[in-house]
Amino acid sequence: MRLTLDSICNIGFGVNLGSLSSELPDVPFMRSFDDSNKLIIRRYVDYAWKIKRALNVGGEAKLKKCVEIVDGFIYNVINIRRMEMTASRARGEELQKEDLLSRFMSLSNEDGSPYSDKQLRDIVVNFIIAGRDTTALTLSWLFSMLCKSPTVIKNILSEADKVLNDLNRTNETGHDGITINGFYGRVESKIQHDMCKYAELLNYQALNRMHYLHAAITEALRLYPAVPLESKVAVNDDIFPDGTKIKAGNFVSYSPYAMGRLECLWGDDAKEFKPERWLKDGIFQPVSPFKLTAFQAGPRICLGKDSAYLQMKMTTILLLKFFSFDMVENQSLEYSMMVVLYMAHGLKCKVSLRE
């Protein structure tokens, strides 16, 4: 969760939170953001939440404080960025920022006006929700299955070695004369240096050729979709193909979690973690997004699908390449009731440097 928060904050609004630094600092924005997610979901079962909000008591009082902290942090970033842009224009320069917030601040909304601070806040929060929790939780559930599947780990690492060696021979890695096997001979003091050098090899071309890794992540998405229950609201009256009538304002819900376990869709081994089901002659075979609904489908398909896969691929291969993970026995891998498939107690592992 710290990894994906740092990355989405950097990409989203050009801020380095440093939540993953070695001391694992307490970050009020992160804590308040997480607490807000947990408190909001209670409204599904607490019919008195509107009264509590009006009286500012209980969980609604805490939620209000959390939202104030989140808003304060984001509005401060927006204000700083506006001052930077104003100062740049005064110097006759263009502020060179690549983050999403800066890009939206330089654009106009659908009315032709600049985005208001509230609109910018909503955009930033939306990107954090979409790009942080979902990716982090998919990685957590993936590693819970990898710990039980040493053969899958072996196949992922073998594929990575082959892909990188092939690209190195054709000099498609962007590096001249790098020996992949040279990264094995290291001591602990060199681990960070070695990981950084290895990460440089994991460009788009390399990651795109790792079909088995892609299949393993997709299999995790099938069994543990980040959003286990999806709901839509009909804007207008509609009729389903089977004749079911939907009235405007009706909620329509479906469960990607249940769909990923249906034998009628995936076969008798539907509950097994089996990356091979996605491969044919070693090449990943995608299915209809209406069958694997982790990223939704149609006009509402996830815009961050490709970037999410890239981040999950890079994170997974880096961790597996340099570390071994042994899951602590007799732990209960339960999920908690939230909008996303949160791992209630985390994944407890014994981690060691890979031999």
- The number of beta carbons lying within 10 Å of the beta carbon of residue 134 is 23
| The token pair that represents 325 in the structure block | 């993970």
Measure the CA–CA gap between 275 and 353, rounded to whole angstroms: 25
The strand ranges marked E within 248-344 are: 251-254, 279-280, 283-284, 323-327, 335-336, 342-343
Does residue 126 contact residue 100 with C-beta atoms inside 8 Å?
no
* Angle in degrees, 0-180, between the axes of helices 211-223 and 150-169, rounded to the nearest 10: 140
Residue 147 counted as an annotated binding residue? no
Non-local CB neighbours of 66 within 8 Å, separated by 6+ positions: 32, 33, 35, 36, 39
Does residue 212 contact residue 275 with C-beta atoms inside 8 Å?
yes
Measure the CA–CA gap between 300 and 88, rounded to whole angstroms: 37
| Counts for the chain of helices (H) and strands (E), in that order | 14, 10
The Cβ-side half-sphere exposure at 233, using a 13 Å CA radius, reads: 2
- The DSSP annotation for 10-42 comes to HHHHS----TTSTT----HHHHHHHHHHHHHHG
Does residue 74 contact residue 101 with C-beta atoms inside 8 Å?
no
Q: Which amino acid is at 238?
A: D
59 CB-contact burial (10 Å; exposed 0-12 / middle 13-18 / buried 19+): middle
231: part of which helix (H) or strand (E)? strand 230-233
Binding residues for heme are 302
Q: Binding site: which residues?
A: 302
